[in-house]
Amino acid sequence: MTDYSKEQKALLRKFRSETIGPQDIDKFLTFLIHEKHSSEPLHNDWLDLWNKYRETAYKYFPDDYLKRADEIISAISPFDPNIDNIKLTDAARVTFLIGAGASKPSGIPTVNELLPEMWNRAKKIRRDDLDKLAEWCQVRGITNIEDLLTAAYISNFSAANPNVTSLIDYFLFARSRERIEEGRMTHRRHLGSFEVDVSSISFLQDTLQILFGLLTSTMISAQPNQAHNAIVDFIRHHKKCSIVTTNYDGCMDEAILRAEIPINDYMYGDQDEAIQGALSLIKMHGSINWAYCDSCQYIIRFDLLKLKKLYEDDELSYPVVGICKNCGGLRRPLLVPPLAFKFLMFPNLIYVWNKARRSIENSELIIVVGYSFSEADTYITKILLRSMSINDNQKIIVVDTNPDLVPLLIDRYTAQIEGFDEARVMKVVGPCDAYLGDLLHSLTTQEPLFEMSEAS
């Protein structure tokens, strides 16, 4: 493992955690320019840390001095030097954990971009009810699609279970009801009756269906990008791979299918059906080409490439695909929208989730691509934490534009795993479509990524 000097480690700690004054910057510049930078590698956190304090530095120190610092910093590799110490044997299992950041270069909106994007598309549909919903969200500053869909699902669930509705009402509004009964407050709320407004619930069903349609239409035409293709190239050389993804778009699937690699997706749950030697592609949040029947629970997988072609040729007839062939019930896309209560709402996916957990726990190396460790995915965070604590030698490489993810993971693991070696978590800072190829090429060929800067 690359060892950084005590001095560099102390400087890193200070710059990461505190407000930095001119004195600290001076210490850093002295370290960088006059002392040891040529005898030890510079941590790639400096790329980001220097950006944060650069402007302050220019207020206090001479320009030519700082230009020298800029040169040295810009020569730092975006790849963690410890990556070069990974010697992947053919037997080592590798799991890719892929999130929305991997689909972004394919033009798919991220969670934060989804709601505004959907309201834009909704305008074109010109429906009064959707416009009202959009206005409700805008007035109240609701910008997260996760909140909207979570509320929609809870309402849908409560509508079918009147006792639940009644209890929610009790828990949330008991205090105001007491006050009303005491006559201290007047309220137009219709007390004592928990009847659900049937028209608003059928509107909700309809809205959900349209929101899903909008969501799917933002994704179905997207093409695999260089990150997806780099993963496929790697898989051809390294057989012991699986992919766990929270994306329901078809980009990863398409890249694999076009390379004629068979896929096991475990959506039917039954392991017996798994194709021997096929690649596990575990789509934790479902997939745009999966659907399930609300009435008989029948699950169906449409051929992704065919479906895509039908959509592009405008030959899909939704009223037909939306009806279950078995029982005539209503079919819904089997995709978990960004939603806080995933486990409660999608029991069909429990087998898939277990499969993801086993795959992560059995891996020597986990390569995280564009996955943001969002609050809504606490179960993935927990799987990783457990896996890192039971496998002393397991390593994680995070490829992401956000440089703060790795320090966050290191803090978390250091706090929860005794004697945690922080060199087990490595980062590549930058866009995955630009850097993943180089990373995977180096892991396959053992050609070093990192050349120590010779700047002097």
Q: Which residues bind Zn ion (CB under 5 A)?
A: 293, 295-296, 298, 324, 326-327, 329
- CB closer to Zn ion, 268 vs 341: 268
Least distance between Zn ion and beta carbon 154 (Å): 24
Q: How far apart are CA 263 and CA 160, in angstroms?
A: 37
Alpha helices in 225-349 (DSSP H): 226-237, 251-258, 304-312, 318-321, 342-345
229 contacts 433 by C-beta, under 8 angstroms: no
DSSP-derived pairing of the beta strands 241-245 and 279-283: parallel
Amino acid residing at 378: T
Residue 19 Ramachandran class (φ > 0 left, ψ -120 to 50 alpha, else beta): beta
- CB closer to Zn ion, 194 vs 298: 298
Least distance between Zn ion and beta carbon 329 (Å): 4
248 contacts 334 by C-beta, under 8 angstroms: no
- CB closer to Zn ion, 105 vs 333: 333
- CB closer to Zn ion, 12 vs 293: 293
- CB closer to Zn ion, 95 vs 289: 289
- CB closer to Zn ion, 296 vs 390: 296
Phi and psi for 368 in degrees, rounded to 5?
A: -100, 120
Of the candidates 252, 330, 256, which has an alpha carbon nearest to the alpha carbon of residue 285?
252
Of the candidates 95, 2, 107, 97, which has an alpha carbon nearest to the alpha carbon of residue 44?
2
Return the structure tokens found at 396: 């994680």
**Residue 324: DSSP 8-state:** -
Q: How far apart are CA 82 and CA 80, in angstroms?
A: 5
- CB closer to Zn ion, 167 vs 296: 296
Least distance between Zn ion and beta carbon 211 (Å): 22
Least distance between Zn ion and beta carbon 324 (Å): 3
Place of tokens 């892929």: 98
Q: How far apart are CA 194 and CA 199, in angstroms?
A: 15
326 contacts 284 by C-beta, under 8 angstroms: no
Cα 355 to Cα 6, 89, 382, 397: the distances in Å are 42, 23, 15, 21
* Cα end-to-end span (Å), the chain: 24
Least distance between Zn ion and beta carbon 332 (Å): 11
Least distance between Zn ion and beta carbon 351 (Å): 19
Question: Which pairs count as long-range contacts for 68-71, CB under 8 Å and 24+ apart, including other chains?
Answer: 68/33, 69/29, 69/32, 69/33, 71/455
Least distance between Zn ion and beta carbon 286 (Å): 17
101 contacts 369 by C-beta, under 8 angstroms: yes
- CB closer to Zn ion, 295 vs 354: 295
Least distance between Zn ion and beta carbon 259 (Å): 34
Of the candidates 337, 305, 127, which has an alpha carbon nearest to the alpha carbon of residue 224?
305
Least distance between Zn ion and beta carbon 213 (Å): 20
- CB closer to Zn ion, 322 vs 329: 329
- CB closer to Zn ion, 108 vs 267: 267
Least distance between Zn ion and beta carbon 160 (Å): 17
